[in-house]
Amino acid sequence: MRIIVTGAAGFIGSHLCERLLKDEQNIVIGIDGFIAPAQKPMKLKNSENILKHPRFQFINNNLLEIDWSKVLAKDDVIYHLAAMPGVRTSWGDNFRIYVENNILVTHRLLEACKDVRLRKFIYASTSSVYGEKNGRVSEDSTTSPLSPYGVTKLTGEYLCKVYSENDGVPITILRYFTVYGPRQRPDMAFHRFIECILKNKPIPVYGDGKQTRDFTYIGDCVEGTVAALYVENVLGEIINIGGTERKSILEIIEILEEITGQKATINFVGKTRGEPRHTWADITKAGKLLQYKPTVYLKEGLLHELKDLQGIYKEMEK
C-alpha cells in the first residue's frame, strides 16, 4: 500500500511512519516543510531511523508550494498530520501562520485529491475543537473552540466534509486528546515539566494547576491512527482518540517528582487563555470501529518520555 504522511518529521508523524513501515506491504512517502526552522534539528532526529528505511521516501517541501500532481497516485492513502500546533501561540499576528498552515494547506491538498481516486484521506484533528465541556465528550457533541488554533483545525474538518460530499474524497477525521511521550515538542507541557525538574528550574504552570486533561500516550495514539487504515467502516466518520487516565496538571507534577526522585518548584504564571478547564474523551466509538483500547497508563508513559529526554540531554552534553 502506498501511504503519504504529511508532517512526517513531527512528534506524531515520525512515530506513525515507523509504525506503518512495520507492515512489509507498505511504502511510505513522508512530507515535511519544517515550517518552524528552530525545530528542524529535533525533527531530523525524530526521522533518523525512517530516513534510512528502503520503503520510505522523504520530501522536504512546503505544502503550499509542492506540486501535488507529481506526488499523488491512484489508490493512495493520505494521513494529513501537517499543521501549526499550539493554542497559546495562535493569537494576534501569529494567526496568519495558522491560517496558512492549517487551513490553506488543507484546502490545497483537498483540491489536488478531488481529481485522484484515493483509498482514504485521514485528517488529524484535535480535542480543541470541542471547547469547554462537562464529562466525557462524544463525537456528536457541539463544537465550540476557544482558541484561534481550534478554529483553524475545525475549519480543516469542515473543508474535509465539503470535499467528501461534493467530490467523493474518502474522509476520516481523528480527534486527538493531548498526546504525550517520547519526541514530544519542547513547547508541550510534559517536555517542559521534565526539563525544568532535571535542570532544577521552576515549572511554569498556568491557572491553578487543577485543570484536567485526557492524556493519550503516543503509542496508543498511533495504534488507533493505524487502525483507521485497515478497517473499512470509517469513511465519513469522526472518531475520538483518547487515553487511559485523566489527571490534573498538579497530579502530573507529583508523578514526575516520584519517577525522577526530585522535588519540583512550581511557578504559577497567570491565567490560561483559549484552553478548556477539562477534557475527557468518550472513546466508545473508537472501540467499536477501530477496536481501539489504549493500554499505557500515565506513570509508564511518563517514564518513557523521561528516559527519552535524559538521553537527549546526555547527547547535548557531549
Q: Active-site residues: which are they? A: 149
Give phi and psi for 234, each to the nearest 5.
-115, 0
Three-state SS for 270? coil
Amino acid at 128: S
d(CA 84, CA 80): 12
Q: Alpha helix locations (H) across 265-297? A: 284-290
d(CA 207, CA 277): 9
Q: What angle do CA 31, 151, 178 make, to 5 degrees?
A: 65
Three-state SS for 83? coil
Instruction: For cell 498511533, name the residue.
Output: 222
Note whether 155 and 167 are within 8 A (CB).
Answer: no
Instruction: Give the number of residues written for the chain.
Output: 318
Note whether 156 and 106 are within 8 A (CB).
Answer: yes
Three-state SS for 250? helix
